[in-house]
Amino acid sequence: MNTRNEADANMYMGALLFGLIMNMFNGLAEMAMTIQRLPVFYKQRDLLFHPPWAYTLPTFLLGIPISIFETTAWMVVTYYSIGLAPEAERFFKQFLIIFLVQQMAAGIFRFIASICRTMTIANTGGMLALLVVFLTGGFLLPRREIPVWWRWAFWASPLSYGFNAISVNELFAPRWMNKMSSDNTTRLGTAMLNMWGVFDDKNWYWIGIGALFGFAVLFNGLFTLALSYLDPLGKPQAILPKEEDESKKEIPMENVNTKKGMVLPFTPLALSFDDVKYFVDMPATTYYSLIVYAMVGFEWKASKFLWFLFINYSSFLYWTYYGMMTVSLTPNQQVASIFASAFYGIFNLFSGFFIPRPKIPKWWIWYYWICPVAWTIYGLITSQYGDVETPIAFPGGPPNLTVKQYLKDQYGFESSFMGPVAAVLVIFPVFFAFVFAFCIKTLNFQTR
């Protein structure tokens, strides 16, 4: 890739962000594996076989060689093939950042697993943690754009330190600092750091390194404390509370004939239910769309809101069926979680967010068109801004450029293409649901 102007620098920033997010997602597998081991750990802990730190410390130490191997593989494959700063010093500095991000992510997901203790709760908790970390990381929403009352979340987010460190390491390279930006007064590297809200100080590399190391130690320490004081969910109690005993009443059932009919291996019981409530929750898409649409401040126009509602509904639907499909393709929840997370990074890479569609190599463009997230982003952005004729100004951009033309030139988005977008967003849920039904019918992972 070229290093001529702000547009080229944005491409490199997208590559750096993708690397951070991929290595953050890499820790998601720790959550599934930790939960799988928890029942045995709780049994051994309750029998006083060993203290919790005797389990967490080897888990942390034995993960270091694996993390070093994964970081080495990532750096060898991506660093020079992308074309990042050629200096060997910056290669090893980024190596250290990626390694510490992996350790920090593993600590977060181990801690989430020890708090949630079941895969169902942990999947929700894990995705919530990723959402909070990403939103406050300083790249989806630059530091200067974060409201004042939320600035503390930026400083508390571990990914913000990783983003600052990896950006400073790349953009302070001579090939960026020896060129001038479009205003001919600021160094290109400094201008890009300011545009992304990153501190233009070389010391922020070591600040980020220290913070990532501290977060890794902190989360593994919290993991140890959670294992020390929390018990497994749903653990049967030997002694029932007094109120629960008194609430049980035996009612003679004279009209129940347990001997009549076919012979059963159990005794049938007549049960009655008191005060049972039947209700259906409000659809998630409706309240999500209303809250987000109002809080972001999109244009209050019926057609735009209905497009927003439809695209979100289709996206929620295909993600639900995608999750069901991965479960039907795999023998258990742990494998399904690891299998699904492997595709999250691929979906992000080809979504058109990190690398715009016109910049994707021709031999990889086919994956953009089969990526469901790419169609969601296409529809969301085009439905809201595809008809806006307001001029837009950005560093290195041409004068008198409208928002509509910018979307077409930069991302390849056109409002006339919304019909096919809607059709594809209907096809994806149907396809995932069909694969789920087919796998449920044909695959069998039961063992005797």
The pairs formed by 140-145 with CB atoms below 8 angstroms and a separation of 24 or more are 142/196, 142/197, 143/197, 143/198, 144/197, 145/197
Length of the chain in terms of residues written: 448
pLDDT tens series, the chain, 448 aa: 777 788 888 889 888 988 898 888 788 778 888 998 999 999 999 898 989 999 999 999 999 999 999 999 999 999 999 889 999 999 999 999 999 999 999 999 999 999 998 888 888 877 787 788 888 888 888 888 888 888 888 899 999 999 999 999 999 999 999 888 877 888 888 988 988 889 888 999 999 999 999 999 999 999 999 999 988 887 544 445 555 544 455 555 555 454 445 454 544 554 544 554 444 445 777 888 889 899 888 988 999 999 999 999 999 999 989 988 988 888 877 788 777 777 877 888 888 888 888 888 888 899 999 999 999 999 999 999 998 888 887 776 777 889 999 899 888 899 999 999 999 999 999 999 999 999 998 888 776 5
* Closest C-alpha to 157, from 131, 136, 186: 136
Helical pair 119-135 and 333-349, crossing angle rounded to 10 deg:
20
CA distance 422 to 417: 9
CA distance 93 to 222: 28
Q: Identify whether the C-beta of residue 70 lies closer than 8 Å to the C-beta of residue 64.
A: no
Q: How large is the C-alpha radius of gyration of the chain?
A: 27
CA distance 229 to 122: 18
* Closest C-alpha to 427, from 358, 384, 372: 372
